[in-house]
Structure 1
Amino acid sequence: MVGTLHVHDLILLRTESAVISTEGVSAYPYLNLNQRPWVVVRRGRILDGLIPVGVRGTQRHERCAGFTRLSEAIESRRPDQLRLRLAEDSRRALQAFRTLSYLESHLAGLDMSWGPGGSVGYELAAGIPAVRADSDLDFILFAPRRLDITEARDLWRMIGGAPGKVDVLVETPCCGFSLEEFVTASPRRILLRTSEGRILGSDPWNPSNDEDS
């Protein structure tokens, strides 16, 4: 049984027809009929029992936003459950996977959970080739506690030593934000990704602090 789902989780659906696109039509054409239908939970509000999800097809242009019901999910994977050991041996030489290997060894002592998103996370969860030779690594860091700027900069500096480009998205209990923007713009306002939309703020752990400023 699948429990509570969060943004960036990957879920396996019962059928390809379990997703309704935001236009109110089936997302069926974007799902490979020869593969199990995995989708990713996207940021947004759950309305009328519908979970916001994103569909990834075999081509870059085959993406769409949609919704599905929790009852349609039969399996789920969190980003922090996805590691290089799940990749096929023949795929591990790709730069994005080599970057993931680097981070696994350098972040072994980190006291916050993390995992890959994007094409790397999708391939590791679904077992469907999605990573390309030029793919970056989308890195999701879950930060329930506040990161001070020195700690954030040290983390960003270490990640910068990876063999490939890494896009780091930090997820707090309130929102998501770019680590790169945080360390280069602080203490100025940065873009915060909330379930209600994108806003500018200076405190990702308490965006309400910015409401009256």
Structure 2
Amino acid sequence: MVGTPHIHDLLLLRGESAVTSTAGAPCPYLNLNQRPWVVVRRGRIADGSIPVGVRGTQRHERCAGFTGLSEVLETRRPDQLRLILAEDSRRPLQAFRSLSYLESHLAGLDLTWGPGGSVGYELASEIPAVRADSDLDFILSAPQKLDLTEAQDLWRMISSAPGKVDALVETPFCGFSLEEFVTASSRKILLRTSDGRILGCNPWNLSNGKDS
């Protein structure tokens, strides 16, 4: 039985009709000739309805929609996705070289992390999505508050990767940029919540959309 998915999880669906766009129409870009994978986007999961994003073959082919939990055949979390799943011919791409670097340098990290974006999608679906100029989306799960010094050390390591890495930290309440967290001149940073984006200073303690 498939458990409740979380943001950034990749979901294998039964078919292209399993997704309805936010406008209520069928969501385009899912191709039954390929395994229909979607990503869980930020939002509330209620009554078995999951907010998902659909990726087409072109950069402009994106669709925000919803699917039902009963339509999910398989789930892949970011922390389950590693370079070993990539085709040998794809590994020289910059984003995959960055992933290889992080797997080596973060081997002892006591936090759950994995790739998102095009890298995560390709590793889960086996459908080529990474381009020569693709960045690596790095998803870090931080249920407990990060010490600023620890976060700064982590960012220095991540930013030394061969290619650009967009590091997103996910707390139980929101997501935020690791780079912004360690470099912000003011206390408040942009927090991505299920109800929208807000400015706040404590991503681990939100109350009614504001810091407490």
TM bin, normalised by shorter chain, reads over 0.9
- Measured against aligned partners, the alpha-carbon deviations of 1:40-63 in whole angstroms (never above 9, x if no partner) come to 001101244310000000000110
Q: CA deviation at 1:4?
A: 1.6
Give per-residue Cα distances to partners, 1:134-153, cap 9 Å, x unaligned: 00000000001111111111
Give the TM-score normalised by the residue count of structure 1.
Answer: 0.96
Return the alpha-carbon distance in structure 1 between the equivalents of residues 207 and 184 of structure 2: 19
2:159 counterpart residue number: 160
Structure 1 runs not aligned, ≥5 long: none
| 1:1-213 superposed matches below 5 A | 1-27=1-27, 29-185=28-184, 188-208=187-207, 211=210
**In 1, Cα distance between equivalents of 2:202 and 2:211:** 13
Q: Is the 8 A contact 2:20 2:65 kept in 1?
A: yes
Contact 2:198 2:209 in 1 (8 A): no
- TM-score between the two structures when normalised by the length of structure 2: 0.96
- Number of paired residues? 212
1:55 and 1:7 map into 2 onto residues whose CA distance is: 14
1:74-93 CA-to-partner distances (Å, cap 9, x unmatched) read: 00100000000000001000
Distance in 2 separating the partners of 1:51 and 1:33: 20
1:30 aligned counterpart, secondary structure:
coil
Question: What letter is aligned with 2:84?
Answer: R
Residue by residue over 1:63-121, the C-alpha shift from the partner in whole angstroms, topping out at 9 and shown as x without a partner, is: 01000000000001000000000000010000000000000000000000000000000
Structure-2 change in CA distance of 1:49 and 1:186 (3 Å): farther
| Aligned equivalents of 2:126, 2:34: Cα separation in 1 | 9
CA RMSD across the alignment: 1.5
Q: 1:187 offset after TM fit, Å?
A: 5.2
User: 2: CA distance between counterparts of 1:33 and 1:79?
Assistant: 24
